[in-house]
Amino acid sequence: MRRLLPLAAVCLVVAAGARSAGTAVTGTGTGLHTIPGLEPPRLTVEVAARASVKGLVFIAEKGGGKKRPGGPMIVDAKGRVVWFHQLPSDLQATDFRMQTYRGKPVLTWWQGTVSKAGVGSGTDEIYDTSYHRIATVKAGHGLQADLHEFQLTPRGTAFITAYHEVPYDLSGVGGPGKGYVYDCVVQEIDVATGNVVFEWHSLDHVPLSESLEANEEPAKDATKKRPLDYFHVNSVADGPNGTILLSARNTSALYLIARDGHIVWRLGGKQSDFGPPAAVRFFYQHNARLHANGTLSLFDNGGIPRAERYTRPVVLRLDEKTKRATILKTFATPKRIASPYEGNIELLPGGGAFVGWGGVPKVTDFAANGNVTFQLKLPFGDTYRGYLLPWRGNPGGKPLVAVAGGAVYASWNGKAGIARWEVLGGPDARHLTHVAAAPWSGLETAIPLPLPEHVIAVRALGAGGRVLGQSAAVR
C-alpha cells in the first residue's frame, strides 16, 4: 500500500508548494504559522489534572462546518494538542483511540459522512506510530461502514457496524404495511484481506416489537427517506468463548450472540434474561464491554430522553448461573450530566474510569472513589467516545519553523517527549547559536525573538536537554 506523508508534510505541500516536512515557512495564512490551513481547536480544562492522571487524551471532535474543521486529536492533561489530523470539512471522525494490530500499537478511527438520523457512511482507518496509514477497512457485501464501532481483535480482524434500509411490513408495530426499516448489520472483517469472516443481521434475530420505537411516531411515519431505526446497534466486542456482545440503543438492551447468530442472553430491554429489574434498568446505552473479572461496563444515556435523572456510566457484575445483575459502581460528576446520545466509559487500572460524554462535549477522568481528577471541554461538536491511553508517536522528518511579527513559531505534529524549544540564530545556516528558548506549549509554540537575526532555526529538546531534532533554517 502506498505510504502517505505525515500530516504536517501534506499541509505544507498543499499550502506552500513543493516544501518538505522539514522546510521553514514564513507566511501566516489561515491556521498555524508553521502549518497553514491546520486549525486545531482550543480546549478548556475545567478541572485541572491531578498527578494520578496518566496518559494522553484521545478524542475525535466532529467538525462544525467549513469554518470549524474537525478530526482525530491527541491532547495532554493540560489541554494542549499533541497531534491533530484535520479532515476535509465534509467528513467527520468518530471512535478515535489507540488499539493493537499485529502486536503493535496503532491509531484507529472511523471517518465519513453522517446523516441526520445519526447513521454513518465511510471507512475505518489504521495508522502506525509514525502517523502513516497502513490499512483502510471497508464494509463488505456492498454495505458502507457505519460510525458506531471499529473494534480490532487479537485475530487480525475488526468488528464494524453497517445500517441497511430495507422494505418491511411495519403494521405489527403501528407503521405502514409497505414501510422501511434499518437492518443493523455486524461484520467481522479480516483487515489484511478485506474478507467478511462473520456477519449478523438484527432483523433475522430480534423482532421489531422489542424496540422502544414500536407503536411510536418513528414507526408510524417510517418511509424510505426515514426508515424505522428499531435496533440501532452502537457497540460490538468480543465476549467469552467466541461469543460477541452487542449494544442496541433503541431496544435499550445488550445481546450476547453466538457464532451461529443465536442470542445467548439479553440484558435490559423488554425481554431481559437477568434480574432483579431494578439492577438491569438502563436506557439508550452505548459502549458495552465485558471484562475478564466478570464485570460489564456500559454508558447509560437514560438522562435524555428523560428516563432517568442523569446519564450514568456504570459497572455491573453478572452472575450467568443465577441470571442476576448488580451495580458495582456508578461514575457521575458533581454537576450531573445528561447526555442525549453517544458516550463511553473506559475502565482504568486501579479502579478509576475515563468517560467521554458523547453529545455533551466533555471528557472526565474519575478516581476509584468516584472523585473527578480531570475534566476537559471541547469548544464545539461532540466527542462520540473519549479515551485516556499511553502513546509514543514519532512522525519522523524535522520540526517546522516560521517567523512572523517578531516571534518564532515551532511545531512538530505528533512528536512525543518535547519538553522545550530552543531558537538558534546567526548570519547564515552554518553559524547558528542559542538566542532564545521556551517550554513546549502545544502543537505550535510561540517564542519571542529578542533581536533580529538573518537566519533562524529551532531545536526540539527532550527531558534533560537531549536534542530530538532540528528544523531547516529560514531567512
Reading the block at residue 60, the C-alpha cell is: 475525535
Amino acid type, 297: S
Domain edges within the chain: 1-38+398-475, 43-389
pTM here? 0.92
Cα 184 from Cα 228, distance rounded (Å): 11
**What secondary structure letter does DSSP report for 13?**
H
Q: Which residue, 286, 337, 331, is CA-closest to 309?
A: 337
Q: What is the CATH number of domain 1-38+398-475?
A: 2.60.40.10
CA distances from 370 to 30, 170, 313, 355, 385 (A): 42, 45, 11, 12, 19
Amino acid type, 328: L
Q: Is-contact 155 168, C-beta < 8 A?
A: no
**What secondary structure letter does DSSP report for 356?**
E
**What secondary structure letter does DSSP report for 379?**
S
pLDDT at 11: 29
Name the superfamily (CATH) of residues 43-389: TolB, C-terminal domain (2.120.10.30)
DSSP code per residue over 417-468: T--EEEEEEESSTTS-EEEEEEE--SSEEEEE-SS--SEEEEEEE-GGG-EE
Instruction: State how beta strands 71-75 and 44-47 pair.
Output: unpaired
Cα 183 from Cα 207, distance rounded (Å): 11
pLDDT at 30: 58
| Largest interatomic CA distance in the chain | 82
What residue has cell string 426515514? 226
Q: Which residue, 391, 353, 357, is CA-closest to 377?
A: 357
Torsion of CA 208, 210, 211, 215, to 10 degrees: 70
Cα 374 from Cα 56, distance rounded (Å): 12
pLDDT at 31: 85
Per-residue pLDDT of the chain (475 residues), as tens digits, is 333 323 333 222 222 222 333 333 333 345 899 999 999 999 999 999 998 889 999 999 887 666 678 899 999 999 999 999 999 988 999 999 999 999 999 999 999 999 988 999 999 999 999 999 999 999 999 999 999 999 999 999 999 999 999 999 999 999 999 999 999 999 999 999 999 999 999 999 999 999 999 999 999 989 999 999 999 999 999 999 999 999 999 999 999 999 999 999 999 999 999 998 878 889 999 999 999 999 999 999 998 888 889 999 999 999 999 999 999 999 999 999 999 999 999 999 999 999 999 999 999 999 999 999 999 999 988 889 999 999 999 999 999 999 998 899 999 999 999 999 999 999 999 999 999 999 999 999 999 998 888 999 999 999 999 999 999 999 8
pLDDT at 451: 84
Reading the block at residue 325, the C-alpha cell is: 445483575
Cα 179 from Cα 169, distance rounded (Å): 6
What residue has cell string 517527549? 417
